[in-house]
Structure 1
Amino acid sequence: MGRKRTIKRDTVLDAAEQVVMRDGAARLTLDAVACEAGISKASVLYDYKTKQALIKAVVERRLAAHATCEQEVAASFSGDPDAAIRTRIEVASHLLTEEDRAVALGLLASLAQDADLREPIARTYGERIAQVTGHSRSPRGALLAFLAIEGLMSLEWLGLHDWAPEERARIIAEIGWLVDQVPAPVSAPASVLSSSPERSTR
């Protein structure tokens, strides 16, 4: 019978996040994670054969934790056709923790350079957009609200701008107002149409 598995995956992932926050994903190595966790490199290799696999596991765990949070919030909007976007706005109303921001910034370079690492995030956003536009009373208004809330959060995730609490609360409330709006139909600007690939004359 093989040796019983005693090292929990969360132990390895917790250590990986600590390394990312301290040194950035560029300096994340299996050796560094093993040292941070106080375990052998072989214990890390048991579950994660490569640095990429370890980073992807960190990303997926973060996404899963965020999804759990959203599910808990969504319960309070049960029966509301706009539940998907209302949930997203409510989640965004809570300030980011410094740990969340540090992990996001630490992973950014690796995510930018690796499509496979971005795939779980891209899939999650695709699902969110489908929920928002597929189930809202005003799909266009809800989509605009979604884009606004994601823009706000991106500035915060990247550490590019921090709002005063009162102003942030006002912005969140105003984004909520967008959900019920029905934008007038508009045509794409001629400059956009003329620069689209199918209209290129090259």
Structure 2
Amino acid sequence: MARPKSIDPQQVLDAAERVVAHVGAARLTLDAVAAEAGVSKASVVYDFGSKAGLIQAVVERAVERDNAFNREASQGFTRDAVLRGRIAAAAQPFPEAFQPVALALCAAMAQDPQLRAPIQRNQAEILAEIQSSAQQPRSALLAYLALEGLKLLESLDYVQWPAEQRAQLLQDISALVDAPPPAN
């Protein structure tokens, strides 16, 4: 009979995020993650295989968390629920503590197409879902692009909107969802 697993992979991923926030993804080491998580390096290797596998798992977990957060925000919307949920979710900016992690992961993804793959798949799925369920697909696409642009500018720390202005921008993006599509 196999021994029950005593190391929580989520605990290791939490530790990996802390290390990434502190030193960046490029300088992350399995030793540093193991020490931060209070586990052996062998345990980290057993669960994630390599540094690349660990960083991949951090990215995939971030995608899963973001999707869950947005799905929850979409509850209660009947029309264009996917997009309206994402707009509602954006009313809460990224947690400040996650920003260094997001920046470091973006830098790592710029260098590694395999790390970008989960984000690319996720974006393709979101775009397809928005397009297939929107009453005004072209307008919904423009709204989504505006929303993601706002979020990207913030997550890369290029712009931090004052709360009132940010709320107005989200309201304007929301209005795009119902707007007639632009003329060709």
Question: Could you tell me which residue of structure 1 aligns to residue 7 of structure 2?
Answer: 7
Give the deviation of 1:29 after TM superposition.
Answer: 1.1
* 2:99 equivalent to 1:101: yes
Question: Could you tell me which residue of structure 2 aligns to residue 173 of structure 1?
Answer: 171
Pairing of 1:27-42 with structure 2 (within 5 A): 27-42=27-42
Q: Percent identity?
A: 47
Letter in 1 for 2:93: L
Give the deviation of 1:84 after TM superposition.
Answer: 1.4
TM-score by length of 2: 0.96
Which stretches of structure 1, 4 residues or longer, exceed 3 Å deviation after superposition?
1-4
Return 5+ residue gaps in structure 1 as ranges. Answer: 187-202
Looking at structure 2, the residues matched to 89 and 11 of structure 1 have their Cα atoms a distance apart, in angstroms, of: 30
Give the deviation of 1:68 after TM superposition.
Answer: 1.3
Return 5+ residue gaps in structure 2 as ranges. Answer: none
Larger radius of gyration: 1
Pairing of 1:177-196 with structure 2 (within 5 A): 177-186=175-184
Give the deviation of 1:100 after TM superposition.
Answer: 2.1
Q: Is the 8 A contact 2:143 2:173 kept in 1?
A: yes
Question: Could you tell me which residue of structure 2 aligns to residue 198 of structure 1?
Answer: none
Give the deviation of 1:184 after TM superposition.
Answer: 3.3
Q: Is the 8 A contact 2:16 2:58 kept in 1?
A: yes
Give the deviation of 1:2 after TM superposition.
Answer: 4.5
* 2:54 equivalent to 1:58: no
- Cα RMSD (Å): 1.2
Question: Could you tell me which residue of structure 1 aligns to residue 154 of structure 2?
Answer: 156
Q: Is the 8 A contact 2:139 2:182 kept in 1?
A: no
Question: Could you tell me which residue of structure 1 aligns to residue 142 of structure 2?
Answer: 144
